[in-house]
């Protein structure tokens, strides 16, 4: 009886969370779009300018707080690294919802540290270098956690492929910039990867009681679909970047 009560409670809570996310996101992003934005925040196929602008607008109070409290960008980067280790631990223990939510939080810290550095004129080569290294570790920790969770399944290969693709995407840009070329193209850049993996694991964990094992008899079917899609799309992005840099360097249009 207790088990049934617990299952009912968990299902009701999961439904309430889904409803809360849907209502809050719809109302909040809708309101932002109606107001419009004077600032060009860029955009991509996955994350359009509306969502990016809304996200950055919501970060404003925290940026102000970091500037006011003299929190250095390096401290934010270190917090991101610590958060990523917690994400890996959550994923490895099967806490996919919590891990996904913390993954989005660590991604947010990455955005805030850059913006705080610019606002406090604290941008430096050393800070940029530290930030890139921590970003790679953060990417790897998330994938390592998922790899530990799916260690007995074929999904492990998809996770490792996603990890490899993510590293190649980043390396391609770094190498291209080292050779004097600009490389900011690609379907899934880092923010898009975070959003897809973060929300994929959040919704996958919440919908698990509904979906069940319908992908090759595996539990967490929705998470598996997201991981496989991510593995494919990240590697497609890597190929896109390689082709772009190849053409740019061939034309001699560096920079």
Partner 1 sequence: MAESVSDTNALAGKGKRVTGTFLLMLGAGIVLESSLRWTGGMIMFAGAAAFVRGLLDIRPQTAARPHPHVAIDAHGEGRL
Residues lying near partner 1 in the complex (CB under 8 A) are found at 10, 13-14, 17, 20, 24, 57-62, 64-65, 94-98, 101-102, 105, 205
Q: Decide whether 26 or 60 has the Cβ nearer to partner 1.
A: 60
Q: Decide whether 10 or 214 has the Cβ nearer to partner 1.
A: 10
Torsion of CA 168, 170, 176, 178, to 10 degrees: -120
Q: C-beta of 145: minimal distance to partner 1 in Å?
A: 14
Q: C-beta of 200: minimal distance to partner 1 in Å?
A: 15
Q: C-beta of 177: minimal distance to partner 1 in Å?
A: 33
Q: C-beta of 17: minimal distance to partner 1 in Å?
A: 5
Q: Decide whether 64 or 133 has the Cβ nearer to partner 1.
A: 64
Q: How far apart are CA 187 and CA 44, in angstroms?
A: 8
Q: Decide whether 146 or 233 has the Cβ nearer to partner 1.
A: 146
| Phi-psi group of 218: left, alpha or beta (phi > 0 → left; psi -120 to 50 → alpha; rest → beta) | beta
Q: C-beta of 15: minimal distance to partner 1 in Å?
A: 11
Q: Decide whether 55 or 137 has the Cβ nearer to partner 1.
A: 55
């Amino acid at each position: 009886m207790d088990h049934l009560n617990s299952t009912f409670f968990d299902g009701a809570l999961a439904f309430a969370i889904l409803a809360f996310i849907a209502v809050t996101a719809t109302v909040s992003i809708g309101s932002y779009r109606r107001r419009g934005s004077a600032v060009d925040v860029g955009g991509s196929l996955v994350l359009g300018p509306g969502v990016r602008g809304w996200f950055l607008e919501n970060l404003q109070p925290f940026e102000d707080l970091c500037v006011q409290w003299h929190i250095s960008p390096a401290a934010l980067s270190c917090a991101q690294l610590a958060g990523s280790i917690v994400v890996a631990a959550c994923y490895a223990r099967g806490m996919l919802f919590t891990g996904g939510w913390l993954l989005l939080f660590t991604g947010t810290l990455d955005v805030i540290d850059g913006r705080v550095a610019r606002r406090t004129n604290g941008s430096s080569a050393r800070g940029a270098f530290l930030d890139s290294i921590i970003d790679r570790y953060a990417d790897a920790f998330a994938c390592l956690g998922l790899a530990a969770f799916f260690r007995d399944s074929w999904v492990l290969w998809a996770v490792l492929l996603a990890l490899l693709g993510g590293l190649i995407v980043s390396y391609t840009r770094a190498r291209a910039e080292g050779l004097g070329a600009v490389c900011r193209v690609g379907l899934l850049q880092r923010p898009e990867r975070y959003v897809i993996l973060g929300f994929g694991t959040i919704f996958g964990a919440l919908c698990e009681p509904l979906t069940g094992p319908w992908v090759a008899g595996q539990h967490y079917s929705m998470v598996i679909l997201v991981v496989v899609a991510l593995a494919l799309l990240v590697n497609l992005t890597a190929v896109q970047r390689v082709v772009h840099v190849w053409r740019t360097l061939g034309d001699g249009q560096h920079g």
